[in-house]
Structure 1
Amino acid sequence: MNKLIFFILFLAISLGYLFEVDEMIARNFNPFESIKRSYINTVVSIQETTEKYFKQVSTIEELQKENKELRPYKVLYESAHNELDSVLKTINNPKGTTDQIKFVNVLSYIDFDNFTKVWLDMEKKDNSILGLISDGYAAGIVVNLQGRAKALLNGNEKCNYAIFIGENKAPGIIHGSQNKHELIAKFVPIWFDIKEGDEVITSGMDNIFFEGLKVGRVVSIKKMQDIQEATIVPYANVLKQKSFLVYKKEKIKENEPTK
């Protein structure tokens, strides 16, 4: 009888021990637990990567929007900075001049069959001719048409202003070309040595622009008996511009001598 009781107790203790060991093994060596952990880690990683991607996309879109809004101000700053150096030199000349630079927007085409004539959002009452600037380059002229500002862009046959060509500063007058992507410098004296690749700048001799504003580069030259013409590829892409700078040179009234 005692042996039977001892055997039952031994069996119970052994089974309890085995079940405890089994539970421990199940807790620590369950293959599904590692799979579950790997799945959770993968899901969390994908979620973090996705959130990071969409955050980057949102940030890029915001920066692109800000860049688009700030671009006109950047153009205005760079253009004004390039031009004001020459403006300051002009102000200090003996005859005395003062200059104004104004930011303007394009309203619309004047004629739908001619993209080189546009209305600007400014009034113009006098008959003076103003210079038009785009991205720091000469872009055309502004004239008065019934009290409104009419812009004649580079490439228009009536868009004429004085220029210098090359290091020797050969004088000429800008005209439009049959190829709307080019300009023609006419009336260049034959005795001036000009060549392909020469840079063309405004001369300021017409009081439309100041001297030194870049226009473009010479790509070909046509020599005649007493004059020559140069074909120029302009720097300014005027047909895509929605805004410009208008340059105006004004005479300072000289003080009358005291009696």
Structure 2
Amino acid sequence: MKILSFFIILIVLVVAIFGFVPVLRSFVITSSYDVKQFYVEKKQSFSDFVDDYTTKAAEVAHMRSTIRELQADKLKYDALKVSFDNLNAALNINNKYDGVNTKLAKVISYASLANYTRIWIDYSVKHSTTNKMYGILKDGYAMGIATFKDNTLLGFLNGDKSTSYSVYVGKNQAPGILRTDSDNKIVIDYIPSWIDVEVGDEVITSGLDGIFFEGIKVGKVTSVKEDHGYTKASVQVYSDRARLGYVWIVDTKVPQTIMLDKDSLEK
């Protein structure tokens, strides 16, 4: 009886196992296909992601390069525009100084960063006379004087202690010498006391120093006082030191009464 029961159970197990195998095989095959399909899709997705990233990275690099080039071009454009505006302003002034020996010259730089009253000027002459002085004009106004140092023209603007030239003051054309005093104020010294000078009088170049020609506007008198037998006047000059791109250089070709000493050039 026990043997019969054993054989019956064995037969049942064999039938069950052989009947389940096709189902199991089908499940394994289906599962394997799904896993493979998932892998293929993810691999393709990752490949597409890498391709997109590589393409976009190249585009970004190209855009950055283009931006840098545009920035460099803009800097060049801005520099040229400033130079053009300065030149245009110098050429469009009302008085071109026709009939006198003047030349438009480019300002190179300040003589030193700590001194805004001295400038290097790009100006050359065939034969430079030692210590010869030249006049500097800007916007139609007297701005200073200049002389050669180490073969380069060095300009001394109004307000520099070494700047001085001959002027007339007011309607009576009182003579005087424009200079900068110890308080760094621009003044006119040695005005004859018997000639009336008033606040508001206009100051012009006299041309008697051989640096400027007569009649260039300098500024207006702001105060007047007596000083050791002479009249001394403070002046507000018309010229300013903004936009020092180009200036006019005056060469009168006549003997000069004012010279800069060596110490002034070395300061």
TM norm. shorter chain > 0.5: yes
Structure 1 unaligned regions, length at least 5: 1-64, 89-98, 252-259
Cα contact 1:160–1:175 (8 A) shared by 2? yes
Question: Structure 2 CA distance, aligned partners of 1:164 and 1:195?
Answer: 13
Q: Give the Cα separation in 2 of the matches to 1:67 and 1:151.
A: 21
Amino acid at match of 1:230: A
Which amino acid in structure 2 is aligned with residue 202 of structure 1? T
> How far off is 1:137 after superposition?
0.1
The 2-side partners of 1:108 and 1:170 are apart by 36
Q: CA deviation at 1:67?
A: 10
**Distance in 1 separating the partners of 2:226 and 2:135:** 29
Distance 1:218 1:157, change over 3 A: same
Amino acid at match of 2:235: I
Instruction: Tell me the amino acid that sits aligned with residue 235 of structure 1.
Output: Y
TM-score, normalization by structure 2: 0.59
What residue identity is the alignment partner of 1:203? S
SS state at 2:93 partner: helix
User: Structure 2: which amino acid aligns with 1:164?
Assistant: Y
| SS of alignment partner, residue 72 of structure 1 | helix
Cα pair distance change 1:66/1:225, threshold 3 Å: closer
Structural mapping, 1:25-36, within 5 Å: none
Structure 1's 70 and 114: CA in aligned 2 closer, same or farther, altered over 3 A?
Answer: closer
Q: Which deviations, in whole Å up to 9, do the C-alpha atoms of 1:157-209 show, x marking residues without a partner?
A: 111110000000000111014565x5111111111100000000000000111
Which residue of 186, 190, 197 maps to 1:187? 190
Matches within 5 A, 1:13-162: 69=84, 72-78=87-93, 80-81=95-96, 83-84=97-98, 88=99, 99-123=100-124, 125-126=128-129, 127-162=131-166
Q: Tell me if structure 2 keeps the 8 A contact 1:216–1:232.
A: yes
Amino acid at match of 1:148: T
Equivalenced residues, count:
173
Higher strand share: 1
Consecutive unaligned residues in structure 2, runs of 5 or more: 1-79, 255-267
State the secondary structure of the residue aligned to 1:175.
strand
Identity of aligned residues (%): 30
TM-score by length of 1: 0.61
Answer whether contact 2:87 2:245 (CA < 8 A) is retained.
no
Q: Which residue in the other structure is 1:169 paired with?
A: 173
Distance of aligned partners of 1:148 and 1:107 in 2 relative to their CA distance in 1, 3 Å threshold: same
Contact kept in structure 1, 2:205 and 2:216, CA below 8 Å: yes
**Distance of 2:223 and 2:198 partners within structure 1:** 8
Q: Does residue 243 in structure 1 map to residue 246 in structure 2?
A: yes
Please list the CA deviations of residues 84-115 of structure 1 after superposition, one character each: whole Å capped at 9, or x if unmatched.
3xxx4xxxxxxxxxx32111111112122211
Shift of 1:149: 0.2
Computing the radius of gyration from Cα coordinates, the structure with the larger value is 2
CA distance in 1: counterparts of 2:203 and 2:250, whole angstroms:
19
- Which amino acid letter does the alignment assign opposite residue 122 of structure 2? D
| Root-mean-square deviation over aligned CA pairs | 2.4
2:237 corresponds to which residue? 234
CA distances 1:209-233 after superposition (whole Å, capped 9, x unpaired): 1110000000001212411111000
Which 4+ stretches in 1 moved above 6 angstroms? 65-68
